[in-house]
């Protein structure tokens, strides 16, 4: 998402449409989706009808009071609508720049799926999955796709907000291109992976503007609780009318409670505060993810992030900087360093990773570079073999196999051919691993030549962040393809709870399933096709925008910044969402207590004068008490809108400490604030003679 200016909480550009939308949401077809506020909606209609009846009957003394109650009940509904509309408006504003990217563009559709073949102009809207297009410097990528040939720099600022161009190339984990981005140099041959209307951009727009937002499991559970409370109070309120009638007849004094007072009592007792803000909190959660440049495919994923208790983190790029560089060559006994370096460089010619390039650079720097003689065939790295290299067809017809890879992978290769790994090489690899570096073994045919040492650096502050997660009960697990010694050294330095070394896609998948079998929720990041099975299995799966299409389709979130560390921020945002919902629920239920003391004495004091003792706030009159409670009930929604949209500030504390803090601030606050608020409103009403 393009990084725009930060939206002010109550920006006039958002407030005006939200006000209009608040009135539009008075449609009964919209209101009934929120059962709690639907009760308030029905109460507003009923009191309005009661006012019309009293006005026609010339009962002017009652008419003014009923009108005031009706107006504030309508305000209660409108304020709840406004909160939801404002949250939706903020999300829509965040998507404004994305809409501008949806332009009709022309593409160069190739007749054959390779560079150099003829092409025909075709509009992007007419392209289909598996079509192959040529994208040259200055061209806009028509639709999402996979690079099958070429390498080029791509401007993705319209999507990610980052001005620096990124490299996209065929093969590997950086082959995906996004529709709406622009190629700055060179050319790409891209196979379209989606049909029109199914692109990443389309999904982003539909999510952030999503009127069809599905409620999350926790939101549904809370809604059921709120409905249950509403039904209980509805039953209680309904029974008060015959009880009041009986009491008046039995006592031969007082007046029967009015329908207006009963409606006011019901509205004030049901959890209208959280009922009015619940939807806004959910929409705002999606919005906060957007602000973090993360696109969630569902609110369920955002919420699940708050319940995660196991984080699977790739070592490279997440825990370490990921720019491992070759620093030294450690030859086996009887092998010259020059030969080891030359073979390592030759085996790295097909390796376009930063590690592979660093081996070439180090060899050139030491002056050990040697040319290959013969026809070469590249052997790419795979997660299964954990090796890469080159096959050289020599003039005598023999094939020379040069390999570079993980020590255990090289060992298996040698042992499968009847050889063995020299003990000196194994010791050198162990020493490198104990230093926290990564050892790579080099193989020439069946001869192990030695070790290449790669160094990486643990990110500053990462250990403290893991300690925070540990205090919250979240377990961190480092995933790496390194051997156990290297993994253990880096895990100890980074402060993770556990690690998985020599990881393959199968190992990752098994690890996730094992944790889930224990009843735990697992989150992980990934960017490659080999990560797709594990991403699909994880409860929260964050795919990198720079990664493959398979990874993005398997994940339920996409990080536009392609920053693996973002997983920590996502978990914090999910926790903040749950904390916000819990805090508002606690406050909403707690503030009902004050309303008991305001309304119950007011409606029964004429029949039972002793109930005047419950008027602890010393409210001016029964009418003032009821109206003050109704006004407070409406205004508190407005006061809490900023909290619902911004969320409760995330704190890295355990569940018990969080519960104590929640009860102390929002529980106790929910008890005290209404007493102060209702009394203040009562004083104002009395001062101006409005009741």
Write out the catalytic residue numbers. 314
Segments of 252-309 assigned E as strands: 294-296
- Output the CA torsion 248→251→252→258 (10° steps): -20
DSSP helix, strand, coil percent of the chain (3-state; round to 5): 55, 15, 30
Specify the pairing of strand 498-500 against strand 106-110.
Answer: unpaired
Exposure of 581 in the CB half-sphere (CA atoms within 13 A): 25
Exposure of 234 in the CB half-sphere (CA atoms within 13 A): 14
Segments of 536-678 assigned E as strands: 540-544, 557-559
Please, what sign has the CA dihedral across residues 356, 359, 364, 370?
negative
Judge contact between 583 and 665, C-beta under 8 A.
yes
Alpha helices in 161-256 (DSSP H): 200-208, 217-251
Specify the pairing of strand 475-479 against strand 310-314.
Answer: parallel
Judge contact between 276 and 637, C-beta under 8 A.
yes
**Cα–Cα distance measured from residue 610 to residue 600, given in angstroms and rounded to the nearest whole number:** 12
Q: What is the DSSP letter of 607?
A: T
**Cα–Cα distance measured from residue 343 to residue 349, given in angstroms and rounded to the nearest whole number:** 10
Cross-strand partners of 454: 326, 438
Phi-psi region of 499 (alpha: psi -120 to 50; beta: other; left: phi over 0): beta
């Amino acid at each position: 998402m393009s990084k725009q200016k930060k939206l002010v909480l109550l920006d006039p550009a958002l407030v005006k449409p939200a006000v209009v939308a608040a009135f539009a949401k008075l449609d009964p077809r919209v209101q009934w989706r929120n059962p709690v506020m639907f009760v308030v909606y029905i109460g507003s209609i009923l009191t309005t009808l009661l006012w019309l009846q009293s006005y026609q009957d010339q009962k002017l003394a009652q008419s003014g009071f009923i009108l005031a109650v009706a107006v504030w009940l309508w305000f209660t509904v409108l304020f709840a609508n406004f909160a939801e509309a404002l949250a939706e408006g903020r999300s829509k504003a965040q998507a404004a720049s994305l809409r501008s990217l949806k332009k009709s563009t022309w593409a160069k559709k190739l007749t054959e799926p390779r560079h150099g073949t003829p092409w025909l102009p075709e509009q992007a809207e007419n392209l289909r999955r598996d079509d192959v297009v040529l994208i040259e410097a200055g061209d806009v990528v028509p639709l999402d796709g996979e690079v099958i040939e070429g390498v080029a720099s791509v401007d993705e600022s319209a999507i990610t907000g980052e001005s620096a161009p990124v490299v996209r190339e065929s093969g590997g984990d950086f082959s995906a291109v996004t529709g709406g981005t622009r190629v700055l140099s060179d050319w790409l041959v891209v196979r379209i992976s989606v049909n029109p209307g199914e692109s990443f951009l389309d999904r982003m727009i539909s999510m952030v503007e999503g009127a069809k937002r599905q409620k999350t499991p926790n939101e549904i559970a809370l809604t059921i609780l709120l409905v249950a409370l509403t039904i209980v109070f509805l039953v209680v309120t309904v029974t008060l009318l015959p009880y009041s009638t009986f009491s008046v007849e039995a006592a031969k004094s007082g007046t029967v409670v009015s329908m207006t007072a009963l409606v006011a009592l019901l509205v004030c007792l049901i959890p209208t505060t959280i009922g009015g803000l619940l939807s806004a909190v959910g929409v705002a959660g999606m919005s906060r993810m957007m602000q973090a440049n993360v696109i969630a495919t569902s609110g369920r994923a955002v919420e699940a992030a708050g319940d995660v208790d196991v984080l699977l983190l790739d070592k490279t790029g997440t825990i370490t900087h990921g720019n491992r560089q070759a620093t030294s060559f450690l030859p086996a006994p009887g092998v010259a360093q020059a030969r080891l370096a030359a073979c390592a460089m030759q085996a790295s010619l097909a390796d376009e990773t930063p590690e592979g390039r660093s081996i070439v650079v180090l060899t050139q720097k030491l002056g050990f570079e040697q040319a290959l003689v013969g026809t070469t065939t590249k052997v790419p790295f795979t997660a299964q073999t954990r090796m890469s290299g080159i096959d050289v067809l020599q003039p005598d017809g023999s094939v020379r196999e040069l390999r570079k890879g993980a020590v255990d992978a090289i060992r298996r290769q040698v042992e499968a051919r009847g050889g063995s790994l020299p003990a000196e090489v194994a010791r050198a690899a162990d020493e490198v691993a104990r230093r926290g570096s990564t050892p790579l073994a080099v193989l020439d045919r069946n001869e192990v030549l030695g070790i290449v040492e790669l160094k990486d650096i643990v990110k500053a502050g990462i250990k403290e962040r893991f300690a925070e997660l540990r205090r919250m009960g979240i377990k961190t697990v480092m995933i790496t393809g390194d051997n156990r010694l290297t993994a253990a050294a880096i895990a100890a330095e980074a402060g993770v709870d556990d690690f998985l070394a020599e990881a393959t896609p199968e190992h990752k998948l098994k690890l996730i399933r094992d944790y889930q079998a224990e009843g735990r929720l697992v989150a992980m990041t990934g960017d490659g096709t080999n990560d797709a099975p594990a991403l699909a299995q994880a409860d929260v799966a964050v795919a990198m925008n720079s990664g493959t299409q398979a990874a993005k389709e398997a994940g339920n979130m996409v990080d536009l910044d392609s920053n693996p560390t973002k997983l920590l921020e996502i978990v914090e945002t999910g926790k903040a969402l749950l904390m916000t919902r819990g805090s508002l629920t606690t406050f909403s239920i707690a503030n009902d207590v004050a309303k008991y003391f305001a309304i119950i004495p007011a409606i029964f004091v004429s029949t039972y004068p002793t109930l005047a003792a419950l008027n602890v706030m010393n409210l001016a009159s029964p009418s003032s008490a009821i109206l003050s409670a109704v006004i407070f009930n409406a205004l508190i929604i407005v006061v809490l809108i900023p909290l619902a949209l911004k969320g409760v500030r995330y704190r890295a504390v355990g569940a018990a400490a969080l519960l104590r803090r929640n009860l102390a601030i929002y529980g106790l606050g929910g008890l005290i604030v209404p007493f102060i608020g209702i009394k203040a409103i009562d004083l104002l009403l009395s001062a101006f003679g409005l009741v």
